[in-house]
């Protein structure tokens, strides 16, 4: 039973909805779409110009800047303490890979303040790290592409026969480039290290159709919900710009196996490739909501709301149904904002909005 929680305050990170959008705006729109939720939503942003801060539609009650993950746990703790003092929080939903280690480290302390999260453990996070895909595949009984971890650029010249070109060169957190020879691979290696550091992964490239599954693990090996999607349109950065919910039992089974093998706690996105011969390869697991997660809510599974309830210690009934054929089509629009909002964010690091109406 989900009790109406009109007074709940939920904070969400990842508000930079550019043409390579962070997931925060999708998560917030999902929360706003939940009829039993009438509470407050607080945006936690990394830059005064993070676009979600200026969205009237998602109706942030407040926005706060938080320090970059590279600033360390201590800085984040102090900032969250200050935010919590201004606007007491009940739940935080972090949505970016790079901030997870810090939020995981802070989870016990935040709980003692009365702030709840539903995140994977450090071990779970480690196990799904891109560098350990092979091991994960073995444990979950899922086929994965061959890959090798590169620790210096010279490694690309020593890749054996099991990794023929073309290859995909990937960073630990983000970024992937298809390369066709060692020189190109070395260049991609350097570009990736400069941005995301070591390690870098070289993965065998397979041709096929890519599917993505947004799903939530209940932390006990079960699946709290899952919606697979096929991208219909890509942006020039290769990000999904339109997609459709699909009902392929193999995709749901892959997610279920992942949860059984890891007891995953929290949201994730599975990237799965279906080859021409009908094999399903697990390419990657992202330990957070994807930017398109609002599609799941539209198709009948409000997964951010499920995460909120799990964070609060409830045990929502698993979401099993959704409407295949539901589409998302992204749109860019220019929002009008005032220089005062920018000023407040740039100087005070916060933006408080008076609520209109009750």
Partner 1 sequence: MTGKPTYQRPMLVRHQAGLMNKLSRVAGMRPLTEIDGVPVAALVERFGSPLFVFSERSIVSRHRELRDALSVRLPKARLAWSYKTNYLDAVCKVMHREGSLAEVVSEMELDKALRQVAGTEIIFNGPYKPEGALEKAFRAGARVHLDHFDELARAEAVARRLGLAPKVALRINMSLPGITPWSRFGFNLESGQALDAVRRLRAGGVLQLAGLHAHVGTFVQDVDAYRQEARKLSELANLLAREHGVMVEWIDLGGGFASNNTLHAQYLPGEQVTPSFAQYAEAIAEGLAALALPPGREPTIFLETGRALVDEAGSLVTTVHATKRLTDGRRALILDAGVNSLFTAFWYRHDVVPAQPFAGTPEPTILYGPLCMAIDVVRDQLLFPPLSPGDRIVVRNVGAYNVTQWMQFITDRPAVVLVSRTGEAALMRRRESVETLLAQEEVPAWLA
Partner 2 sequence: MDTLQRLKDLAVSESGFVFDPHSGQTFSLNETGRAILEALKRGETVEQIVTDLRQGFEVEPGADLGRDVHEFLLLAREQGWPVPQVEAP
Stretch that binds partner 1, among 31-39, 128-136, 224-232, 311-319 (CB under 8 A): 128-136
SS3 per residue for 242-294: EEEECCCHHHHHHHHHHHHHHCCEEEEEEEEEEECCCCEEEEEEECCCCCCCH
Among 339, 355, 356, 357, contact with partner 2 (rule: CB under 8 A): 339
338: contact with partner 1 by CB under 8 A = no
**Residue 339 interacting entry, from partner 1, partner 2, none, C-beta within 5 to 8 Å by type:** partner 2
For residue 124, the tally of other CB atoms under 10 A from its CB is: 21
| 70: contact with partner 1 by CB under 8 A | yes
Question: Binding partner 1 by CB under 8 A: which of 20, 86, 109, 151?
Answer: 151
Contact criterion met (CB below 8 Å) for 286 and 269:
yes
Residues in contact with 332: Cβ distance below 8 Å, sequence separation at least 6, in sequence order: 19
- Contact status: 78 vs partner 1 (CB under 8 A): yes
Residue 336 interacting with partner 2 (CB under 8 A): no
CB of 82 to partner 2, least distance (A): 17
Using the rule CB under 8 A, give the single segment among 132-140, 150-158, 249-257, 340-348 that binds partner 2: 340-348
Burial track 220-230 (b if 16+ CB lie within 10 A, e otherwise): eeebbbbbbbb
The minimum distance between CB 318 and partner 1, in angstroms, equals 33
The one among 1, 347, 354, 355 contacting partner 2 by CB under 8 A: 347
Half-sphere exposure of 213 (CA within 13 A, CB side): 31
> Rounded to whole angstroms, how far apart are CA atoms 226 and 327?
16
Which residue, 99 or 350, is less far from partner 2 as judged by CB? 350
Binds 287, which of partner 1, partner 2, none (CB < 5 to 8 A, cut-off by type)?
Answer: none
The DSSP H or E segment spanning 240 is strand 240-245
Burial of 70 (0-12, 13-18, 19+ CB in 10 A): exposed
Q: Provide, rounded to whole angstroms, the least separation between the CB of residue 350 and partner 2.
A: 11
What CA–CA distances, in Å, run from 303 to 109, 116, 273?
25, 16, 23
CB-nearer residue toward partner 2: 233 or 346: 346
What is the dihedral angle through the alpha carbons of 132, 139, 306, 24, rounded to the nearest 10 degrees?
10
37 phi and psi angles, rounded to 5 deg: -105, 120
CA–CA distance, 283 with 270 (Å, rounded to integer)? 8
> Residue 38, preceding bond cis, omega within 30 degrees?
no
79 contact, one of partner 2, partner 1, none, CB 5-8 Å limit per kind: partner 1
Q: Is 131 in the site for partner 1 (CB under 8 A)?
A: yes
In the bound complex, what is the minimum distance in angstroms from residue 347's beta carbon to partner 2? 4
Residue 173 binds which of partner 2, partner 1, none (CB < 5-8 A, kind-dependent): partner 1
Of 59, 101, 300, 318, the one binding partner 1 (CB under 8 A) is 101
The smaller minimum CB distance to partner 2, of residues 317 and 346, is found at: 346
Considering only residues 7, 347, 355, 357, which one is a binding residue for partner 1 as defined by CB under 8 A? 347
The owner of tokens 């606007």 is: 87
Q: Does 337 bind partner 2 (CB under 8 A)?
A: no
Q: Which positions lie near partner 1, rule CB under 8 A?
A: 46-49, 65-75, 77-79, 98, 101-102, 105, 131-132, 134, 148-149, 151-152, 155, 172-173, 193, 196-199, 345-347, 349
Q: Which positions lie near partner 2, rule CB under 8 A?
A: 339, 342-343, 346-348
């Amino acid at each position: 039973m989900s009790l109406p929680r009109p007074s709940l305050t939920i904070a969400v990170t990842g508000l930079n909805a550019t043409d390579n959008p962070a997931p925060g705006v999708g998560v917030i729109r999902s929360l706003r779409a939940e009829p039993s939720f009438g509470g407050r939503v607080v945006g936690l942003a990394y830059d005064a110009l993070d676009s979600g801060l200026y969205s009237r539609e998602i109706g942030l009650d407040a926005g706060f800047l938080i320090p970059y993950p590279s600033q360390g746990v201590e800085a984040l703790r102090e900032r969250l303490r200050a935010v919590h003092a201004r606007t007491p929080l009940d739940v935080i939903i972090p949505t970016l890979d790079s901030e997870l280690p810090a939020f995981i480290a802070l989870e016990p302390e935040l709980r003692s303040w009365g702030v709840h999260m539903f995140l994977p453990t450090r071990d779970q996070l480690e196990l799904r790290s891109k560098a350990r895909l092979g091991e994960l595949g073995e444990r979950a009984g899922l086929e994965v592409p061959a890959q090798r971890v590169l620790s210096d650029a010279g490694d690309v010249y020593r890749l054996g026969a099991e990794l023929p070109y073309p290859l995909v060169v990937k960073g630990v957190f983000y970024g992937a480039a298809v390369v066709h020879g060692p020189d190109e691979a070395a260049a991609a290696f350097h570009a990736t290290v400069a941005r995301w550091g070591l390690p870098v992964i070289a993965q065998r490239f397979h041709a096929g159709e890519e599917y993505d599954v947004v799903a939530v693990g209940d932390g006990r090996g079960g699946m709290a919900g899952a919606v697979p999607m096929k991208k219909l349109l890509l942006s020039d950065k290769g990000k999904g710009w339109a997609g459709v919910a699909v009902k392929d039992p193999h995709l749901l089974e892959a997610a279920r196996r992942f949860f059984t093998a890891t007891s995953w706690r929290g949201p994730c996105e599975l990237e799965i490739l279906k080859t021409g011969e009908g094999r399903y390869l697990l390419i990657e697991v992202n330990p957070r909501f994807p930017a398109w997660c609002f599609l799941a809510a539209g198709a009948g599974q409000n997964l951010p709301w499920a995460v909120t309830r799990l964070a609060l210690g409830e045990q929502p009934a698993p979401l099993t149904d959704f409407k295949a054929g539901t589409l998302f089509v992204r749109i860019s629009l220019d929002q009008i904002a005032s220089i005062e909002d920018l000023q407040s964010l740039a100087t005070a690091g916060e933006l408080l909005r008076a609520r209109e109406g009750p």
